[in-house]
Amino acid sequence: MNLDIHDLVVESDHDFRVRTDVYTDPAIFELEMRRIFETTWVYVAHESELPKPGDYVSTTIGLQPVIVSRGDDGQVHVLLNRCRHRGSAVCRLERGHAEQFKCPYHGWVYGSDGKLLGIAQATGYPEGMPLSELGLAPAGRIATYRGLIFASLEPDGESLDERLSQVATYIDLWADRSPLGSVTLTRAAHKFLYAGNWKFQLDNGVDGYHGNYVHESFLAILEKAGEKTVRGYKDLRSTGSVVGLAHGDGFIDRPYGGMAGQFEYHDPKLSGYHEQLRQAYGPERAQAVLGQRNLLIFPNLFLFESHIRVIRPLSVNETIVLMQPTRLDGVSDELNTERLRTHERFFGPAGFGAPDDVEMFVDGQTGMKARGVEWSILSRGLHRETRGDGVWLGGHSTDEAPQRSAYREWKRWMAGAGGVTSSREA
Amino acid sequence: MTRAEAELFIIRELRLIDERRFDDWLALFAPDCLYWLPIVEGDPAVEPSLVYDDLQRLKERIFRITASPPAQEPGSRTLHNVSNVDVAEAGEDGVRVLCNLTVFELRPGDPIQVGLAVQRVFAANAEYHLVNGPEWRIQLRKVWLLNRDEPLYNLTFLF
């Protein structure tokens, strides 16, 4: 990579462009892992996945394997999945329950809080082995908000509260889809693996522009089912808006009664749901809660009505996307099942919508092999957005304000704004 | 239904998929059918499935596959094999058949096009509930993929 970070994202009042290399250059990908994923706050798991002490999930921060576990003290721990002896992963399973993590290689044993509990044949080591310092290495920082567990490998930096100060309002609206204000993830998830850069998913999750084209077959299905006409759906593109926030966050904002139709659950047999929300939050907030937002929390998390979506980059052109459906706490089983069936209809590898999005991601990876044209254009709506203090309010729901926020933040971290050219950046 | 009859029924059913005779394939299903690809053991009312289609949604699936959406442009070529056929239960009204499926899938194209020209292989256990009437009809078609809970690329075709 012989490019200056500042030349990769170009912005003026009438122009916003991102260079092709941002999607294709392995060196830029490596730097993204160091300066973004291993430095900023990233989402790692949901508290409902770890209800009891000893419960764990294994995942990644950037490319680094980590364990998210609940210790006997009830606290959540985020631990590097690497034995302190010779580096073996101590946890191979995606999720489970364990009193301890035992390294399969030489039998070193760690507690669910990461503490080293014992070394096999310990007398074989010289005196003065600092056992208390040889626990599984913890992430630098861990914090939760509304059940979402975030971690940062860097010990220093802004608190999660500061990080989420703007977007918290919208996380609240998402969580309050439950009258109890909390959700539980299903055990199974929809998982995609696609041969494209992770930022294609980042761009598309808050893209209000593609639906009429990429999802034409889904709109036709809705029309055939008598649910909404294609024309009606297209007209609804002019309702709502898009919003970019500071910190790289942003969302598509569809008001109650508009695009939200298929996620509002008006079916008379489910109508108790709306009443439950009104009783829990009052009529005004209930209506706000029932709006539909595709909310991006930079860099790796989306909150959708039906699911949590997690981006897991593998390499510059390989990405895993997890779509983990939610069950709303405190509502009828019937509603949660209906939400699940609605989710399956569009999302997942065999759904009627998401595979078409993923097709666009690999198409992007194909198209960007063509060089000579070095830029992709993200200037849609620049002339009609309203700018406030860390808020970019799009003039139309098809505008690219959220993506611009994400790339501003991308550039800030890639240029080293974390204050960190971290210890991991050799 | 004997084992040989069950095997022949499934061979012919699978051939309809591979020949893209989707309307004929749909006609094999009973009105109260379920075409189901689970991800985990568990209650499908609680856990998501890859596919959980009643007849209405199965019709939507066929419509979509044939509507040339991006995920089927170009469309998938498939080849289904059935083996290890076992009539596990047989009654007057119907039978439960267990078998193994091997499914090959290819979206043809220039290898420079990411996602095309890659032949994929899927292995699965399958369970059929066939109900007796003027013709045999499929009431349950459950496909338990070996890689059901792994990250997967597009599955916009029939198993």
Any idea what the CATH number is for the domain that residue B39 is in? Answer: 3.10.450.50
pLDDT, one tens digit per residue, over A118-171 is 998 988 998 888 888 999 999 999 999 999 999 999 999 999 999 999 999 999
**Quick check: helix, strand or coil at residue B13?**
helix
Give contacts of B49 with chain A, Cβ < 8 Å.
188, 344
Residue A318 has what pLDDT? Answer: 98
Q: Which two tokens stand for residue A77?
A: 């721990």
Single-letter amino acid code for the residue at A264: E
Note the pLDDT of residue A138. 98
B-chain CB neighbours of A225 within 8 Å are 56, 60
- Please tell me the predicted confidence (pLDDT) of residue A421: 54
Output the CA–CA distances (angstroms, integers) from residue B152 to A147, A319, A350, A352, A366, in the order listed: 27, 11, 10, 15, 19
Q: Do residues B3 and B86 make contact, with C-beta atoms less than 8 angstroms apart?
A: yes
Q: Which of B37, B114, B156 sits opposite A362 (nearest CB)?
A: B114
Please give the span between the terminal C-alpha atoms of chain B, in angstroms, as a whole number.
Answer: 23
B64 contact residues in A (CB cutoff 8 A): 217-218, 221, 352
Tell me if chain A has a CB within 8 Å of the CB of B106.
no
Which stretches within A208-295 are classed as H helix? 211-214, 216-224, 230-235, 272-281, 283-289
Q: Is B152 within 8 Å of A349 when comparing Cβ atoms? A: yes
> Rounded distance, CA A206 to CA A243, Å?
9
Note the pLDDT of residue A298: 98
* Res B49: pLDDT: 98
pLDDT score of A96 more than 70: yes
Residue of B63, B113, B114 to mutate, interface with A, max A Cβ within 10 Å = B114
Which positions in chain A touch B71 (Cβ < 8 Å)? 355-356, 358-359
Nearest-CB residue to A191 (from B46, B71, B152):
B152
* B154·A341 Cβ contact <8 A: no
pLDDT bin (cut points 50, 70, 90) of residue B117 is very high
Subunit contact B114:A366, Cβ cutoff 8 A: yes
Half-sphere exposure of A145 (CA within 13 A, CB side): 21
Pick from B67, B153, B156: which is nearest to A194 by CB?
Answer: B153
Q: Is the pLDDT of residue A259 over 80?
A: no
Option in B46, B64, B153 nearest A186 (CB): B46
pLDDT-based confidence at A377, cuts 50/70/90?
very high
Contact yes or no for A188 and B40 at CB 8 A: yes
Any domain includes B73: yes
HSE-CB of A183 using CA atoms within 13 angstroms: 29
DSSP, res A374: -
Chain A residue with CA closest to B72: the answer is A356
Q: Count the domains in chain B.
A: 1
Find the mean pLDDT for residues B90-109: 96
Looking at the complex, does the CB of residue B64 fall below 8 Å from at least one CB of chain A? yes
Number of H helices, E strands in chain A: 13, 23
Judged against a pLDDT cut of 70, whether residue A2 lies above it is answered with: no
Provide the residue range defining the domain that includes B16. Answer: 3-145
* Distance to chain B for A313, nearest Cα, Å: 13
Per residue in A84-113, is it b (16+ CB within 10 Å) or e — as a string? bbeeebbbeeeeeebeebbbeeeebbbbbb
pLDDT beyond 70 at A226: yes
CB contact, 8 Å: B69 with chain A? Answer: yes
The answer, for B40 touching chain A at a CB cutoff of 8 Å, is yes
Residues of chain A within CATH 3.90.380.10 domain(s) are 168-414
Q: What is the mean pLDDT of residues A279-304?
A: 96
CA dist A44 and A302 (Å) reads 12
Residue type, A283: P
Structural domain includes residue B57: yes
B11 close to A (CB below 8 A): no
pLDDT at A316 over 90: yes
Are the Cβ atoms of B154 and A359 closer than 8 angstroms?
Answer: yes
Cα(A303)–Cα(A164) distance, integer angstroms: 14
**pLDDT over 90 at A301, yes or no:** yes
A237 touches A208 (CB < 8 A): yes
B141 in contact with A, Cβ within 8 Å: no
Q: Taking each helix axis from N to C terminus, what angle separates A198-205 and A401-414, rounded to the nearest 10 degrees?
A: 140
The band of A18, judged by pLDDT with boundaries at 50, 70 and 90, is very high
Interface size A-B, in CB pairs within 8 Å, comes to: 118
Distance to chain B for A236, nearest Cα, Å? 21
Section A19-42 average pLDDT: 97
pLDDT surpasses 70 at A260: no
Q: Is residue B30 part of a domain?
A: yes
Residues 6+ apart with CB under 8 A from A25: A1, A3, A316
Range 110-129 of B in CB contact (< 8 A) with A? 112-115
| CA separation for the pair A142, A78 (Å, rounded) | 7
Q: Which residues of A388-424 are buried (b: 16+ CB within 10 A; e: fewer)?
A: eeebbbbbbbbbbbbbbbbbbbbbbbbeeebebebee
The amino acid sitting at A351 is G
Across chain B, what does the average pLDDT equal? 97
Enumerate the β-bridge partners of residue A78: A68
B12 touches chain A (CB under 8 A): no
The mean per-residue pLDDT over the stretch A335-363 comes to 97
Specify the CATH number of the domain A168-414.
Answer: 3.90.380.10
Q: Is B60 on the interface with A (CB under 8 A)?
A: yes
Q: What is the mean pLDDT of residues A266-279?
A: 86
Phi-psi region of A42 (alpha: psi -120 to 50; beta: other; left: phi over 0): beta
> Looking at CA atoms only, how far is residue A288 from chain B in angstroms?
27
Answer whether B130's CB lies under 8 Å from B41's CB.
Answer: no
Q: Which has more pLDDT, A258 or B18?
A: B18
Residue-wise pLDDT for B54-72, tens only, equals 999 999 999 999 999 999 9
pLDDT at A258 over 70: no
Query: Which CATH fold topology does A42-152 show?
Result: Rieske Iron-sulfur Protein (2.102.10)
Tell me what pLDDT residue B70 has: 97
Question: Which pLDDT score, from 0 to 100, does residue B107 have?
Answer: 98
Check if B50 contacts A (Cβ < 8 Å).
yes
What does the DSSP 8-state code read for residue B134?
A: S
**Is residue A224's pLDDT more than 80?**
yes
How many other CB atoms are there within 10 angstroms of residue A270's CB atom?
16
Residue A422 pLDDT exceeds 80 = no
| pLDDT exceeds 70 at position A419 | no
Among partner residues B52, B64, B115, which is closest to A195 by beta-carbon distance?
B115
Collapsing DSSP to helix, strand or coil, A308 comes out as: strand
Per-residue pLDDT tens for B118-134? Answer: 999 999 999 999 999 99
> Which part of chain A has CATH 2.102.10.10?
42-152
Q: Is B60 domain-assigned?
A: yes
Instruction: Express as a percent the part of chain B with pLDDT over 70.
Output: 100
* pLDDT confidence of residue A194: 98
**Residue B144 touches chain A, beta carbons under 8 Å:** no
Residue B68 within any structural domain of the chain:
yes
Nearest residue of chain A to residue B70 (CA atoms): A356
Are the Cβ atoms of A344 and B48 closer than 8 angstroms?
A: yes
- Is residue B26 a part of any domain in this protein? yes
- With b for 16 or more beta-carbon neighbours within 10 A and e for fewer, the A235-245 pattern comes to ebbeebbbbbb
Q: Cis ω on the peptide bond leading into residue B74 (within 30° of 0)?
A: yes
Positive or negative torsion for Cα A195, A201, A203, A207: positive
Nearest residue in B to A359, CA atom:
B71
CA distances from A90 to A107, A112, A133, B60 (A): 9, 11, 17, 45
Among A222, A344, A360, the residue to mutate for chain B (most B Cβ within 10 A): A344
Q: Is residue B151 part of a domain?
A: no
What is the per-residue pLDDT for A240?
87
Pick from A192, A356, A369: CB nearest B70: A356
Q: Which value does ipTM take for this structure?
A: 0.97
Confidence at residue B29, expressed as pLDDT on a 0 to 100 scale? 98
Nearest CB neighbour to A366, from listed B52, B63, B113: B113
Of A188, A217, A343, the CB nearest to B64: A217
pLDDT at residue B113 is higher than 60: yes
Residue A212: CB atoms within 10 A of its CB come to: 14
Task: Identify the pLDDT of residue B78.
Answer: 98
For residue A265, the model assigns a pLDDT of: 79
Residue B76 has pLDDT above 80, yes or no: yes
How many other C-beta atoms can be found within 10 angstroms of the C-beta atom of residue A74? Answer: 9
B49 and A CB contact within 8 Å: yes
Instruction: Evaluate whether residue B113 is within a structural domain.
Output: yes
